[in-house]
Amino acid sequence: MSSPITSTSSLPIREQTGIFQQVGLLKAVEDSYGGVKVDVEEPMDSDVYVPLLRASMSQWRQQEGFRYHHAESDYLMLVYWIPETPDTLPANASHTVGIGAFVMNDNREVLVVQEKNGAFRDKDVWKFPTGVANQGEDICTAAIREVKEETDIDTEFVEILAFSQTHMNFCGKSDLFFVCMLRPLSFDINKQDSEIKAAQWMPTEEYMAQPYINKHESFKNVAKICSSKSRNHYSGLCSVPTMSSSG
């Protein structure tokens, strides 16, 4: 655990009047890359914060020059590269992780939905349940969750059948999209009214025959892979639990 590198100590700062005053330092901890992290726990007036920041930066032998890195619902991250070397701080997350769920019953019918909003609104396109993995959520868990949320169907993960990468999606981020095969454990549909216009079990051939599916190469390729899998002519990737080097 990092130890504080600044405390309640202070530095003498010359005011515009030429008079020196003692200014406290911001509390900070050193990170594993030799930088410092400052956590401002309470709102602070700029008249108080700026002198603290200047004194702290002086202590770190630097000057102001922070840039916005990213923001979440409960914090805003500002960063500044201290060494006199090229800035190699990694950017904020470059990708989102999307999932599509291929769910087929024993009658060779696939679970499909029509969306109320977004790119597929009012297009009468039947598509697989889709969504985005949450932070810290496994891909297979995200697929199961999205199917449950959109259709109320319980499922279990089988395989990842395909994945793709596209760019300039939500907020300009790139997207990694995984097509997951799930096995249905229940069959009675109860659609999510807030997002889903309609949901049904559709014959595989009828799904593949949709003009939209055949017009768009990515959808067509996924449909072919899923069709091959349904006839046992294709094998995907199973999940293997592992632990990262950082634990």
With vertex at residue 184, the alpha carbon angle to CA 178 and CA 185, rounded to the nearest 5 degrees, is 135
131: enclosing H helix or E strand: strand 130-132
- Residue 70 DSSP SS3: strand
Sign of CA dihedral 151, 157, 158, 161: positive
Tell me if residue 149 is catalytic. Answer: yes
Which of 149, 156, 205, 206 does the annotation list as catalytic?
149
Q: How far apart are CA 96 and CA 246, in angstroms?
A: 22
Residue 110's CB is within 10 A of a number of other CB atoms, namely 23
Contact assessment for residue 183 and residue 154, using Cβ atoms and an 8 Å cutoff:
no
Q: How far apart are CA 243 and CA 76, in angstroms?
A: 29
- Residue 77 DSSP SS3: strand
Which residues, in sequence order, are bridge partners of residue 23?
11
Structure tokens at 38: 């400052």
Alpha carbons within 13 angstroms on the beta-carbon side of residue 93 total 11
201: enclosing H helix or E strand: strand 196-203
Residue 137's CB is within 10 A of a number of other CB atoms, namely 14
Mind telling me the catalytic residues?
149
